[in-house]
């Protein structure tokens, strides 16, 4: 019997993973059913987000981390979130252009995914892509983002551990961290640490962390120096990430993380279902538009009618999802 695409992903077949990710980006017919089958096989990978200002050496750092994980015997998946092409909507930067040292390694899978104009920075394809690599049995998934912006805040919702990368002497990097990235990091990395000013940057980060508001039993965010091109400090960085994962296990944060990402994914799925028929060309939608255009009703009332919601905002009566332990 011919193996299905889901079977090929579960068997960690590189070509099968590539095809599934392409189907996800295109939202091909039937891909949602395939993702549903993969979902029960997820929840094992350690998802690590890598973010920071452009030019901070994120791609080089990711490559060095992947090589170190492989040296330790762990399999790795890499998703590099790239700006969307204005013409094709696809990722602008290529996989092997950025991480040539990993090309051809059967235990490392690399893929660039486009943001595709997602309002929050991370597209649904990126989150679904994490599930694919998780189901394929990757021990660690490295999620590299485009730079500083909304996507870096959103990465907290999908990554177990978030690494914020800075470089010595980059005042703009420190300003970016002051603007909101200080709270995002589970580990701060000062990359290119052999450059002048590295110790000062480390000191500034530690001072800001000491001054930040902390909660009881909060993770103590470390600052790690690395030189990705020389492969220095990489093993120590991975050790800190392993400590953070252990801390999450100990304090129940993994369960909370699962709830957060499930909340996001259920909401996205609900929006997609609701919006599927809410577009020009659909009779009910076009009729509602005409009603609003001719002032025979208002937009909110029209929207509620299309969604089957009453004037008080209550949803239509449906069969509830069974609670755990019930039939």
pLDDT digits (tens, 9 = 90+) for 103-128: 677 899 999 886 554 444 467 888 89
- Give the per-residue pLDDT at 16: 96
Distance between CA atoms of residues 175 and 113, nearest Å:
28
Q: What is the mean pLDDT of residues 157-181?
A: 75
- Give the per-residue pLDDT at 92: 37
- Higher-confidence residue of 147 and 80: namely 80
Q: What percent of the chain has pLDDT over 90?
A: 50
- Give the per-residue pLDDT at 271: 82
Structure confidence at residue 278 as a pLDDT band (50, 70, 90): confident
Distance between CA atoms of residues 83 and 144, nearest Å:
12
Buried b (16+ CB within 10 A) or exposed e, 121-149: bbbbbbbbbbbbbbbbebbbbbbbbbbbe
Task: State which of 21-25, 154-158, 209-213 shows the largest mean pLDDT.
Answer: 21-25
| Structural domains of the chain, with CATH | 40-251 (3.40.50.300), 262-307 (no CATH)
Distance between CA atoms of residues 260 and 52, nearest Å:
23
The pLDDT tens digits for 220-269 are 999 999 999 999 999 999 999 999 999 999 999 999 988 988 887 888 78
Distance between CA atoms of residues 292 and 298, nearest Å:
5
- Give the per-residue pLDDT at 174: 61
The pLDDT tens digits for 173-223 are 566 565 567 778 899 999 999 999 999 989 988 888 887 766 767 899 999
- Higher-confidence residue of 277 and 152: namely 277
Q: Is residue 141 a contact partner of residue 77, using CB atoms and an 8 Å limit?
A: yes
Structure confidence at residue 6 as a pLDDT band (50, 70, 90): very high
Written in H, E and C, the secondary structure of 224-292 is: EECEHHHCECHHHHHHHHHHHHHHHHHHCHHHHHHHHHHHHHHHHHHHHHHHCCCCCCCHHHHHHHHHH
Q: What percent of the chain has pLDDT over 70?
A: 77
Structure confidence at residue 46 as a pLDDT band (50, 70, 90): very high
Q: What is the mean pLDDT of residues 54-58?
A: 84
Look at residue 87 and tell me whether its pLDDT is greater than 60.
no
């Amino acid at each position: 019997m011919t193996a299905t695409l889901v079977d090929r992903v579960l068997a960690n077949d590189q070509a099968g993973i590539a095809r599934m990710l392409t189907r996800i980006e295109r939202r091909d017919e039937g891909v949602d059913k395939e993702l549903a089958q993969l979902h029960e096989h997820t929840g094992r990978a350690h998802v690590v987000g890598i973010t920071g200002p452009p030019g901070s050496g994120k791609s080089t750092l990711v490559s060095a981390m992947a090589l170190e994980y492989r040296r330790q015997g762990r399999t790795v998946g890499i998703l590099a979130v790239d700006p969307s092409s204005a013409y094709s909507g696809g990722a602008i930067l290529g996989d092997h252009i950025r991480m040539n040292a990993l090309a051809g390694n059967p235990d490392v899978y690399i893929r660039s995914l486009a943001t595709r104009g997602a309002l929050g920075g991370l597209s649904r394809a990126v989150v679904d892509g994490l599930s694919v690599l998780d189901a394929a049995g990757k021990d660690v998934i490295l999620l590299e983002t485009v730079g500083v912006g909304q996507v870096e805040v959103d990465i907290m919702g999908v990554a177990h551990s978030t690494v914020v990368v800075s470089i010595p002497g980059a005042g703009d990097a420190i300003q970016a961290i002051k603007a909101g990235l200080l709270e995002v990091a589970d580990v701060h990395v000062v990359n290119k640490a052999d450059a002048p000013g590295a110790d000062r940057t480390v000191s500034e980060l530690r001072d800001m962390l000491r001054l930040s508001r902390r909660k009881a039993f909060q993770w103590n965010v470390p600052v790690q120096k690395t030189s990705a091109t020389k492969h220095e400090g990489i093993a120590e960085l991975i050790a800190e990430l392993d400590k953070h994962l252990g801390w999450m296990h100990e304090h129940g944060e993994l369960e909370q993380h699962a709830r957060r990402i499930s909340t996001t994914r259920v909401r996205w799925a609900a929006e997609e279902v609701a919006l599927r028929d809410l577009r020009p060309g659909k009779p009910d939608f076009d009729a509602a538009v005409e009603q609003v255009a001719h002032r025979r009703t208002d937009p909110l009332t029209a929207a509620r009618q299309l969604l089957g919601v009453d004037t008080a905002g209550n949803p239509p009566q449906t069969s509830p999802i069974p609670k755990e332990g019930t039939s």
